[in-house]
Amino acid sequence: MSDGLPCLNCKKPTPESDAKVFAEVFVCSICYEMADRLFHRLEGELRRLLLLTKETIRVALIEGKLHFEHTQEREVPKDELLRMILQFSEKKDREADARRSGS
């Protein structure tokens, strides 16, 4: 008699009472909890990144600095957009550091 199907992650036999499904993958409850925690942590990090991106764009608009090199193109290349957001974020961090050290 079998203890159940093996968890696809850890390969341990998983009784029906302990079985879970994460993203359409059959796993044991321990692997499910691990995957679920990781997913929610990364989901939070993505939300924070979106807020940072929005704030960076907002500040760039206020300062009149939201300009792209490819003005003829309707769609801005992702690498250019990410580079610009990173530059604005780094500049904002440097300015905040300068204010803190000057105080």
Q: What DSSP string runs through 22-35?
A: ETTEEEEHHHHHHH
- Is the CB of residue 27 less than 8 Å from the CB of residue 7? yes
User: Is the pLDDT assigned to residue 8 strictly greater than 80?
Assistant: yes
Q: What is the pLDDT of residue 98?
A: 86
Q: Which residue has the higher pLDDT, 29 or 103?
A: 29
User: Is the pLDDT assigned to residue 93 strictly greater than 60?
Assistant: yes
> In whole angstroms, what is the distance from residue 11 CA to residue 88 CA?
46
> pLDDT tens across 32-75, in order?
999 999 999 999 999 998 898 898 889 888 988 887 665 555 67
Domain total for the chain?
Answer: 1
User: Is the pLDDT assigned to residue 15 strictly greater than 50?
Assistant: yes
> In whole angstroms, what is the distance from residue 53 CA to residue 85 CA?
7
Task: Please give the residue range of the domain that contains residue 29.
Answer: 5-102
Question: Which phi and psi (to 5°) does residue 85 adopt?
Answer: -60, -45
Burial annotation 52-73 (CB, 10 A radius, 16+ → b, else e): eeeebeeebeeeeeeeeeeeee
User: Is the pLDDT assigned to residue 103 strictly greater than 90?
Assistant: no
The model's pTM is 0.60
The pair of three-digit structure tokens given for residue 81, joined into one six-digit string:
């957009």
The share of the chain scoring above pLDDT 90, in percent, equals 42
